[in-house]
Amino acid sequence: MTFFSKLLGKSPKKEIKARCPITKESIEKGFGYMLTTAEVVASRKYWDMVMTEPETMSYTVSHFSNQPNGTQMRNLIFEKYSSIEKPWIISDSCINLFDVDKGEARQRAKQWWENEGNFVPQEAGPAVEKLEPKMYQTFKDYAVLEAGRSRVPVL
């Protein structure tokens, strides 16, 4: 802060930044896509990717080897991601994992940037609160019981 801004009581405007929660890459101002947690949870491609990342692959192998601890961990992973309240700002390199209206998702991200990170769509919130129970259970069953099956060697 400069002497004059201290004197006048003005603080410099803090610039908002976005980072894709999937790739961890920075997203340039005005770019990206905004998805709700329900939209993220509904993606089989997303769950196949999450459950076969290096950090989670051992749980997937354990699960498909009928070891309860692998299934338990996959359930915890699902619960962690599906309970996120805030909307997700997704990078261009990840948007194809999701079957969403890209134009609408881009527009929501633009609103978020224009409002300095203070825009939250009405549909945002934990997936369990925003999806019908039957749909939520369908997505959970896929994520926990099936995601990544094709990447696990047959034992």
pLDDT in tens, 10-68: 555 678 889 999 999 999 999 999 999 999 999 999 999 999 999 999 999 999 999 99
Q: pLDDT tens digits for 87-103? A: 999 999 999 999 999 99
Q: Write the single-letter amino acid at 133.
A: P
CA distance linking residue 74 with residue 35, whole number of Å = 22
| Three-state DSSP class for residue 114 | helix
Identify whether the C-beta of residue 110 lies closer than 8 Å to the C-beta of residue 125.
no
Q: Looking up tokens 């805030």, which residue turns up?
A: 86
Q: Please indicate whether residue 2 or residue 18 has the higher confidence score (pLDDT).
A: 18
- Determine which helix (DSSP H) or strand (DSSP E) holds 60, and give its type and residue range: helix 57-64
